[in-house]
Copies of this chain bind each other. A is one copy, B any other.
Amino acid sequence: MASAMRKVILGVAVSLDGYIEGPNGEYDWCFTDQDYGMSDFFKRIDSLFIGRKSYELSLTMGDAAMPGFPKLTEYVFSTTLKKVKPGAILIKGNIEEAVKRIKNEPGKDIWLFGGASLTASLLNLGLIDEIGLAVHPIILGGGKPLFSNVQGRIPLNLTDTKKYSSGLISLTYTLA
């Protein structure tokens, strides 16, 4: 039986004005009082796509910063890094080729964890299968936008929504 190709899922928390971080890198506005579907999401994935900046930030935080994270195979996308931490995999060549190869390998789905530059590259290459946004009930007024440098229109299908008592609403879209 042929298994379905692995999906790349962009999954992030955003403010209503579309920022994934505040003007000084803050993410203290992200709700942590509930699970918000993360446990179920973690069951679907076994790998992580991460851009260079997010990777370097994660190194400074250490593993302790992300309790409850499943063990994930980490793919770090960078044109400048020479090496990455033990266990992680550096992707520095042709992004399209590498991502297509990884998606065709056996495994669970892959979490694209923000990173505006990597997100834009993969969106423009048509390599993102699903977008899950945890839209927080706040306007930040500035910061790092989730979407930038996207080239042209990308139509979406809204497949799921979940509204939480805190005012967070999660929106799930698939891409054609």
Complex CA gap A161/B162 in Å reads 10
- Which of B18, B156, B163 meets A138, CB within 8 Å? B156
Q: Can you list, as one digit per residue, whether each of A141-160 has a CB less than 8 Å from chain B (1) or not (0)?
A: 11000110011111111100
Complex CA gap A125/B150 in Å reads 32
Complex CA gap A62/B156 in Å reads 32
Say whether A107 faces chain B, with CB atoms less than 8 Å apart. Answer: no
A150 and B141 form a contact (CB under 8 A):
yes
B141 and A155 form a contact (CB under 8 A):
no
B137 and A141 form a contact (CB under 8 A):
no
Contacts of A113 in B (CB 8 A): none
B29 and A146 form a contact (CB under 8 A):
no
Question: Contacts A161-B169, A169-B161 hold; do A155 and B140 have CB atoms under 8 A apart?
Answer: no
In the complex, the chain B residue whose C-beta lies closest to that of A142 is: B150
Say whether A17 faces chain B, with CB atoms less than 8 Å apart. Answer: yes
Say whether A167 faces chain B, with CB atoms less than 8 Å apart. Answer: yes
Contacts of A152 in B (CB 8 A): 141
Question: Contacts A18-B17, A147-B17 hold; do A154 and B171 have CB atoms under 8 A apart?
Answer: no
A156 and B16 form a contact (CB under 8 A):
yes
Q: Which residues of A contact B (CB under 8 A)?
A: 16-18, 22, 29, 123, 131, 133, 135, 137-142, 146-147, 150-158, 161, 163, 167-169, 171, 173
Listed by A's residue number, 9 A-B pairs whose Cβ atoms lie within 8 Å are: A16-B147, A16-B173, A17-B146, A17-B147, A17-B150, A18-B147, A138-B153, A138-B155, A138-B156
